[in-house]
Amino acid sequence: MRMYSELAPWFHLLTHPSDYTDEAAFVTRVVDDVVEGEARTLLELGSGGGNNASHLKARFECTLTDISPEMLALSKTLNPECKHLEGDMRTLRLDRTFDVVFIHDAISYLTTEEDLRAAIETAALHVRPGGVVILTPDATTEIFKPGTDHGGHDGEDGRSLRYLEWTHPLESPEATTYVMDYLIAARGPGEKFRIVHDRHTLGVFPEATWERLLADAGLDLVDTTVENPYELEQAAFVARRPT
Ligand SMILES: C[S@@+](CC[C@H](N)C(=O)[O-])C[C@H]1O[C@@H](n2cnc3c(N)ncnc32)[C@H](O)[C@@H]1O
């Protein structure tokens, strides 16, 4: 995907760290509600531009991991105090545990149940007993909605970006993947202007699949009462490793 490689230096103009205040606050409230004992360390899998981390680092000692070296390089500019490691969430093994393991929208890039199982196993292996795993995929089969969205930001360095995001319908009710087309207009520096089309294929699974995979990984699903700011727009699965 060009968004996470050649366009990575533009990612904060596509989605700015300030867009993530509510989401990061949700993660912190879930941790306060669910973790047994002190919660100080957080591992994020698929941390991208480090937008969530830019808020979470005020509360947690964050270890940020992503499959894209370009996205890690961008995140380092925003979060130089966090540890950054390159790794695939399906196979990453750090031989240590954390109080919190968080996977935000990056988990939506897993398009088969086998890959989703592998990522959930990675999360389970890296959370301490009494700690929490928080997964917030873009959609489940139940809440998936096709549609369009747009946005973008002006930078302070003379660059600006605008995008159209087009989520296409599922090909069948049983489909476990869907396609999103991004049309990205990138302006600057100076008079430079280019338009990029980037096609992303994402995964979508029924809630029951998520719940089964979390249970198979030895995690207890927690029915937290913490209000999700993205209720009905984005799913949230919260699970604790038993003590
Ligand atoms: C939308 S971005 C994440 C943005 C992030 N939520 C933030 O706060 O900036 C999605 C990220 O998922 C990463 N990704 C996709 N598949 C991955 C995998 N198998 N393992 C690790 N990272 C992955 C991409 O490289 C990309 O950086």
| Domains of the chain (ranges, CATH numbers) | 10-140+205-240 (3.40.50.150), 147-203 (2.20.25)
Does any ligand 1 atom lie closer than 6 A to the CB of residue 106? yes
Give the distance (Å) from ligand 1 centre to CA of residue 109.
8
Does any ligand 1 atom lie closer than 6 A to the CB of residue 50? yes
Give the distance (Å) from ligand 1 centre to CA of residue 108.
9
Residue 10 has a pLDDT of 97
Give the distance (Å) from ligand 1 centre to CA of residue 131.
22
Q: Which of 10, 12, 20, 66 to mutate to test the pocket of ligand 1 (most atoms within 8 A of CB)?
A: 66
Portion of the chain with pLDDT greater than 90, in percent: 92
Portion of the chain with pLDDT greater than 70, in percent: 98
Does any ligand 1 atom lie closer than 6 A to the CB of residue 237? no
Q: Mean pLDDT across the stretch 106-119?
A: 98
For 143-201, write each residue's pLDDT tens digit: 999 999 999 999 999 999 999 999 999 999 999 999 999 999 999 988 899 999 999 99
Cβ(44)–Cβ(52) under 8 Å?
yes
Give the distance (Å) from ligand 1 centre to CA of residue 107.
7
User: Where residue 84 falls among pLDDT bands split at 50, 70, 90?
Assistant: very high
Residue 5 has a pLDDT of 97
Residue 230 has a pLDDT of 65
Q: At what angle do helices 113-125 and 207-216 cross, to 10 degrees?
A: 40
Cβ(101)–Cβ(34) under 8 Å?
no
Rounded CA-CA distance 83/95 in Å is 15
Residue 131 has a pLDDT of 98
Q: Which of 6, 68, 110 to mutate to test the pocket of ligand 1 (most atoms within 8 A of CB)?
A: 68
pLDDT beyond 60 at 40: yes
User: How confident is the prediction for the chain on average, in pLDDT?
Assistant: 95
Residue 81 has a pLDDT of 98
pTM: 0.96
Tokens of 150: 């747009």
User: Where residue 7 falls among pLDDT bands split at 50, 70, 90?
Assistant: very high
